[in-house]
């Protein structure tokens, strides 16, 4: 799966990632890609309550990319299922490649 439509870079060279989250799920992690929205889909165990899902989202992305939590931040959509994430410490090509691996693995399971 090509995750390229979900990844952009800002003027400072940081990666921006468009995601769609599913809080209150039975597991956490990347679960797929929505082509028509150009978003990576992530399941989160935490409920969308008092920022719990947002905190888990940052942890899930940072862990999946082997980055510290401080390298990942939500820049828009804090109260929405669709969010834009800022990711530092990884090049866009490497991010796209890693996302493709995660998406392919998730879609192969389900």
Largest CA distance in the chain: 37
- Whether 12 shows a pLDDT value over 80: the answer reads yes
Tell me the domains of the chain and their CATH numbers.
4-109 (3.30.1200.10)
Is residue 27 pLDDT above 80, yes or no?
Answer: yes
Q: What's the pTM value of the predicted model, to 2 decimals?
A: 0.91
Q: What pLDDT, in 10s, does the model give residues 82-104? A: 999 999 999 999 999 999 999 99
**Chain segment 50-64, per-residue pLDDT in tens:** 999 999 999 999 999
């Amino acid at each position: 799966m090509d995750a390229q439509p979900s990844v952009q870079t800002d003027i400072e060279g940081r990666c921006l990632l468009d995601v769609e989250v599913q809080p209150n799920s039975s597991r956490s992690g990347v679960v797929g890609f929505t082509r028509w929205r150009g978003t990576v889909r992530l399941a989160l165990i935490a409920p969308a309550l008092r920022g719990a899902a947002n905190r888990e989202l940052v942890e899930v992305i940072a862990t999946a990319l082997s980055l510290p939590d401080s390298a990942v931040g939500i820049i828009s959509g804090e109260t929405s299922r669709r969010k834009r994430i800022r990711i530092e410490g990884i090049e866009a090509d490497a991010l796209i490649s890693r996302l493709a691996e995660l998406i392919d693995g998730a879609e192969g399971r389900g």
